[in-house]
């Protein structure tokens, strides 16, 4: 008669297809979790102002302009940062934006805008790309904080009310009127 402990011991240590496939699935699952956690952590890190201004081109130009706006300092102490305006909150839209940002990384590595002169020469092209994206998304990132439906037009200054209320009624998007709200307009920009 066989010893049951020896039989179980041999069964446990015998390489079987079940054990091998189980090990592969467990290892794959752990690797997937580690990959996903690392990927998501890095994606969130790239959504910080510190990351956005880590290259001197952004820190020396648009960040300095942004610091002079109401989005940086205001009476309420509410501050928006680079990702609030430039990165969608929905995951799939955010992923698409991050893929598009690889073009910006390419130009950063290529030195396309690494001097103030080069930056200014490309400012209109870069701004028009951002404006087109914002218009195409119906100013989605602006609307994370600003909502026509939450505006009390009676409490706005007359000039603002005279422009905002008709814009709301026409269904206009924020960027149609608010170009240059957080950054300087390009020198060669002409408003229609």
> Of 34-38, 60-64, 164-168, which has the strongest mean pLDDT?
34-38
Find the helix packing angle between 91-110 and 17-45, rounded to 10°. Answer: 70
Distances (CA, A) of 71 to 14, 32, 74, 168: 66, 39, 7, 22
Distances (CA, A) of 101 to 7, 50, 52, 176: 59, 16, 11, 23
Band (pLDDT 50/70/90 cuts) for residue 13 is: low
Q: Which of 179, 153, 182, 180 has the alpha carbon at shortest distance from 168?
A: 153
* Count of all residues that appear for the chain in the document: 192
**Residue 88 pLDDT greater than 70, yes or no:** yes
State the DSSP string of 28-48. Answer: HHHHHHHHHHHHHHHHHHTTS
Q: What is the pLDDT of residue 27?
A: 93
Please name each of the domains of the chain with its CATH number.
Answer: 22-145 (1.10.3820), 152-179 (no CATH)
**Residue 7 pLDDT greater than 90, yes or no:** no
Q: Is 135 helix (H, G, I), strand (E, B) or coil?
A: helix
């Amino acid at each position: 008669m066989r010893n049951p402990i020896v039989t179980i011991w041999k069964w446990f240590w015998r390489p079987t297809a079940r054990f091998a496939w189980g090990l592969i699935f467990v290892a794959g699952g752990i690797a997937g979790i580690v990959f996903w956690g690392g990927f998501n952590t890095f994606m969130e890190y790239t959504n910080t102002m510190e990351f956005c201004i880590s290259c001197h081109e952004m820190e020396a130009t648009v960040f300095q302009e942004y610091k002079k706006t109401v989005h940086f300092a205001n009476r309420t102490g509410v501050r928006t940062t680079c990702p609030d305006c430039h990165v969608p909150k929905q995951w799939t839209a955010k992923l698409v934006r991050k893929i598009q940002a690889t073009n910006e990384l390419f130009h950063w590595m290529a030195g396309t805008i690494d001097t103030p002169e080069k930056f200014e020469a490309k400012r209109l092209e870069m701004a028009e790309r951002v404006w087109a994206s914002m218009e195409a998304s119906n100013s989605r990132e602006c609307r994370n904080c600003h909502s026509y439906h939450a505006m009390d037009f009676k409490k706005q200054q007359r000039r603002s009310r005279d422009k905002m209320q008709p814009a709301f009624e026409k269904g206009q998007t924020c960027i149609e009127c608010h170009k240059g709200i957080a950054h300087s307009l390009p020198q060669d920009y002409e408003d229609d």
